[in-house]
Amino acid sequence: MAGGGEGIREIQQPGEYQYTFGPYAEPIARVRRGETVVVHTVDAFGDKLTSEDQAPTSVLGPYLNPQTGPIYVEGAEPGDTLVVTIEAIEPARDWAVSCLVPYFGGLTSTRFTATLQPPLEERVWVYQRTPSGGFAWRDQWEIPWAPFFGTIGTAPHIEAIASLAPGAHGGNMDVPDVTVGNTLYFPVHHPGALFYTGDAHAAQGQGELCGVALEIAARGTFTFDIIKGRAIEWPRIESPDAIMTVGSARPMEDAARIAYSELVLWLEKDYGFDRLDAYQLLSQAGGLYVGNMVDPNYSLVAKCPKRYLEGRQRPTPGEPPTPPEVAV
């Protein structure tokens, strides 16, 4: 349902949360192009894991990563690009939780990397928010507040894809650059785009090594827009300093190839680079990091600093790029 009083509208899930990204659920709210709303989310465990005395398997069911959505963006049509700017992320509580889940994580046997070894023991870490805004585990260490949404995206073309899996639609990418001040771009396959989000993190290391970040319930403030008539294949991110593309696949090198090839094509189409010049530039100046190394697909982020784009105008949809002077 959509609620709130004067000012920014607030959107909360009116019933069951969604555990897939797909075109089959009824929208819970409609937003206008250019509208800013607050979206409430629960944590990856549905707020059920609350104590270090719990064993995750004793309280968690078969589904993880409950999503708020779908949200219908008026005016979005197949072949457009959905534009989502994250204006703010606020924790909805003063603690975060992480844990070890059997047969899940980067350094243990999994269903995709099967061995005869037993699982690691279950364990839970509950972090408390500190006066500085970080999250501390007992008196051992404190992790600075670095919030982002681990799961975010639009409905895929046909499939309903589990909210634990990332893909071309976005999904469970676990990419720390999905954060405040950045703008995300997603492909639109259905009228209204059908936007979902959840799995907020107070912080996470690159790779999400054990498979569980600092999981929190949160309120995200989003502004929605549309690029009409301009289709993209994979998620994109723009920060004040860089443009980025996200590729999700297995093996990991294929995720890297997707991310970098999409970034080359972005530089070519929107910034007027010769394709092989873009390939050369990214070979010398590109960045690459692992969002997650634990999900059904791995997510990697390729990055180009904006200083190499100075003087290059991004075209409006339907207009060819204007060849600019070469930036150095």
Domain hosting 203: range is 2-92+146-227
Q: Rounded distance, CA 326 to CA 314, Å?
A: 14
* Total number of domains constituting the chain: 2
| Banded model confidence at residue 137, pLDDT cuts 50, 70, 90 | very high
H-helix or E-strand spanning residue 285? helix 275-285
Q: Rounded distance, CA 252 to CA 47, Å?
A: 31
Looking at 180, 204, 227, which one is the last position of a domain?
227
Mean pLDDT of 147-170: 97
The answer to whether residues 80 and 169 belong to one domain is yes
Q: Rounded distance, CA 278 to CA 273, Å?
A: 6
DSSP 81-111: EEEEEEEEEEESSSEEEEEE-TT-STTS--S
Residue 265: what are its φ and ψ, rounded to 5°? -65, -35
Residue 328 lies in a domain: no
The answer to whether residues 76 and 184 belong to one domain is yes
Nearest to 28 by CA among 194, 223, 218: 194
| pLDDT in the model for residue 5 | 46
For residue 71, give the DSSP letter.
E
Residue 301 lies in a domain: yes
Residue 117 lies in a domain: no
The pLDDT tens digits of the residues spanning 107-118 come to 999 988 999 999
The answer to whether residues 81 and 200 belong to one domain is yes
| Banded model confidence at residue 327, pLDDT cuts 50, 70, 90 | very low
Looking at 227, 255, 279, which one is the last position of a domain?
227
The CATH number of the domain holding residue 283 is 3.10.28.20
- Quote the percentage of the chain above a pLDDT of 90: 90
The tokens for 61 are 């069911």
Residue 181 lies in a domain: yes
Three-class SS of residue 54?
coil
The answer to whether residues 300 and 176 belong to one domain is no
The answer to whether residues 266 and 203 belong to one domain is no
Contact 225, 114 (CB under 8 A): no
Give me the half-sphere count of Cα atoms (radius 13 Å) on the Cβ side of residue 62. 2
| Residue 58 CB partners (closer than 8 Å, separation 6+) | none
Instruction: Tell me the residue type at 25.
Output: A
User: How many residues are given for the chain?
Assistant: 328
| pLDDT in the model for residue 314 | 65
129-137: long-range contacts at Cβ-Cβ below 8 A with a sequence spacing of 24 or more? 129/91, 129/94, 129/95, 129/96, 135/95, 135/96, 135/202, 135/203, 135/214
| Banded model confidence at residue 297, pLDDT cuts 50, 70, 90 | very high
Contact 161, 223 (CB under 8 A): no
Return the number of other C-beta atoms located less than 10 Å from residue 295's C-beta: 25
The answer to whether residues 44 and 184 belong to one domain is yes
Q: Rounded distance, CA 52 to CA 137, Å?
A: 11
| pLDDT in the model for residue 6 | 55
Q: Rounded to two decimals, what is the model's pTM?
A: 0.93
| pLDDT in the model for residue 76 | 98
pLDDT greater than 50 at residue 326: no
The answer to whether residues 207 and 251 belong to one domain is no
Q: Rounded distance, CA 166 to CA 273, Å?
A: 29
| pLDDT in the model for residue 61 | 83
Nearest to 287 by CA among 324, 261, 260, 320: 260
The answer to whether residues 80 and 23 belong to one domain is yes
Q: Rounded distance, CA 295 to CA 106, Å?
A: 9
Q: What is the dihedral of CA 16, 17, 20, 23, to 10 degrees?
A: 70
